[in-house]
């Protein structure tokens, strides 16, 4: 026998890991830095690492108290009720819970393109279909209510990513409010704030709760994760904050013990370690500014812990940088074959990334000129040939 027809489904393409690349190129892993998956260059919160070690001896029990404690701590952090916090196996797990709670067969979800692949994947798992709205490279990937609503057609979920992966653009809360207001009553607007800590923006939780002059709404949910600013990508922990009228759906849709004992203990410790998050955010801000100033190609303004760079031929540039020890994300799978995404690293990593990127761009330009007979014809200058 066979699984069901999965021909519409695509495999998630993760950023490449150091071990994987080193093995493939038959080199030592220590020669590489990985700036491909928006991970935390400072590692996990040290307090979380201690909590993980301490929790090791109690993993024979199901995580009951820890799950309840973390839910309460997250609820407290956002001043919402415990029932509004849906812990999950990563932000991706929270996306699945929202799909389970909303989608009927053939319902559609509206997602950004370029954008995060898992929104569509999750919808398809739940027998839904995917529709897209475009964010334009030429318009700095600007996100507006008008731009989203133009493509809206009664979709059950509208996904917004703020800051947006891979561009780093954001959407203002009044624009989100307009989208929620103008869409049908049973359309849920999901605001993915996986990179929210890095942005100079308030959380869209203000729309759910009716704070800061907004009316409270029952059609907005917010997604957060411990994978990025908290440095816990490996434990898989994230959550959705939902309207209070949605509270009892969680018990009906969640996989029992949605977050593990280790994840919950690590999450509790990380939430308390403000210093680690502040340091992480500060490093990302400096790194993205530095890359914007120093890279010899267009770098979009970013509110995340990464920048998108217009390099012309992403595959070649990413591959060449990788051979020179810096692993970055080729954005072809996001639908941006001209761009690479570089994660903000430590000062040292960022400097190495900039240096390597500039060397590769310069070498490719020289090669292109040589191919054309070395006359430096402006029409084949890679900086101007890509649109
Ligand atoms: C990283 C990321 C997530 C969540 O990742 P998890 O590791 O599953 O928590 C969600 N949305 C976007 C846009 C991301 O980049």
Locate the domains of the chain by residue range.
Answer: 18-43+275-368, 46-272
The residue count for the chain:
387
CB under 6 Å to ligand 1: residues?
Answer: 90-92, 116, 161, 165, 192, 194, 225, 227-228, 233, 238
Q: Decide if 155 contacts 180 (C-beta within 8 A).
A: no
Name the CATH topology of 18-43+275-368.
3.90.1150
What is the Å distance from ligand 1's center to 371 Cα?
Answer: 41
Distance between CA 47 and CA 266 in Å, rounded? 8
Per-residue pLDDT of the chain (387 residues; tens, 9 = 90+): 999 888 888 888 777 789 999 999 999 999 999 999 999 999 999 999 999 999 999 999 999 999 999 999 999 999 999 999 999 999 999 999 999 999 999 999 999 999 999 999 999 999 999 999 999 999 999 999 999 999 999 999 999 999 999 999 999 999 999 999 999 999 999 999 999 999 999 999 999 999 999 999 999 999 999 999 999 999 999 999 999 999 889 999 999 999 999 999 999 999 999 999 999 999 999 999 999 999 999 999 999 999 999 999 999 999 999 999 999 999 998 889 999 999 999 999 999 999 999 999 999 988 888 887 655 444 444 433 333
Tell me which residue has its CA closest to atom 11 in ligand 1. 194
Rg (CA), the chain: 22
Angle at 346 between CA 17 and CA 24, to 5 degrees: 20
Query: At the topology level of CATH, where does 46-272 sit?
Result: 3.40.640
Taking CA atoms, 1 is separated from 5, 8, 10, 124, in Å, by 12, 19, 21, 21
What predicted TM-score, i.e. pTM, was given to this entire model?
A: 0.94
Both tokens of 39, joined, read 């991970």
Fold matches, 18-43+275-368 and 46-272: no
Task: Annotate 58-92 with three-state secondary structure.
Answer: HCCCCCCHHHHHHHHHHHHHHCCCHHHEEEECHHH
Assigned token pair, 229: 């600013």
Q: Which atom of ligand 1 is nearest to the CA of 237?
A: 9
Q: From ligand 1's centre to the CA of 92, what distance in Å?
A: 6
Beta bridge partners of 307: 342
């Amino acid at each position: 026998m066979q699984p069901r027809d999965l021909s519409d489904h695509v495999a998630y393409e993760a950023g490449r890991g150091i071990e994987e690349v080193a093995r493939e190129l038959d080199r030592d892993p220590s020669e590489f830095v990985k700036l491909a998956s928006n991970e935390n260059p400072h590692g996990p919160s040290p307090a979380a690492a201690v909590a993980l070690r301490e929790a090791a001896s109690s993993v024979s029990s199901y995580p009951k108290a820890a799950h309840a404690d973390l839910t309460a701590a997250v609820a407290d952090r956002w001043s919402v009720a415990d029932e509004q916090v849906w812990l999950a196996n990563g932000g991706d797990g929270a996306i699945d819970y929202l799909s389970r709670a909303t989608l009927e067969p053939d319902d559609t979800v509206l997602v950004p393109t370029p954008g995060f692949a898992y929104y569509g994947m999750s919808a398809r798992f739940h027998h839904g279909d995917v529709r897209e709205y475009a964010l334009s490279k030429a318009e700095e990937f600007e996100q507006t209510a008008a731009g989203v609503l133009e493509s809206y057609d009664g979709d059950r979920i509208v996904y917004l990513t703020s800051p947006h992966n891979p561009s780093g653009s954001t959407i203002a809360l009044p624009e989100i409010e307009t989208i929620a207001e103008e869409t049908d009553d049973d359309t849920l607007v999901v605001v993915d704030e996986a990179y929210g800590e890095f942005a100079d923006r308030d959380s869209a939780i203000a729309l759910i709760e009716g704070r800061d002059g907004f009316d409270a709404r029952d059609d907005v949910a917010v997604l957060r994760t411990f994978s990025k600013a908290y440095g816990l990508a490996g434990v898989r922990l994230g959550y959705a904050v939902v309207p209070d009228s949605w509270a009892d759906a969680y018990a009906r849709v969640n996989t029992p013990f949605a977050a593990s004992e280790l994840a919950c203990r690590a999450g509790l410790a990380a939430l308390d370690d403000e210093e680690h998050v502040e340091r992480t955010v500060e490093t990302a801000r400096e790194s993205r500014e530095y890359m914007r100033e120093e890279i010899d190609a267009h770098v979009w303004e970013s509110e995340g812990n990464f920048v998108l760079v217009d390099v012309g031929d992403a595959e070649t540039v990413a591959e060449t940088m990788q051979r020179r020890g810096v692993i970055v994300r080729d954005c072809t799978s996001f639908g941006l074959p001209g761009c690479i995404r570089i994660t903000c690293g430590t000062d040292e990593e960022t400097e190495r990334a900039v240096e390597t990127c500039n060397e590769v761009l310069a070498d490719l330009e020289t090669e292109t000129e040589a191919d054309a007979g070395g006359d430096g014809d402006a029409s084949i200058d890679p900086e101007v040939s890509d649109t």
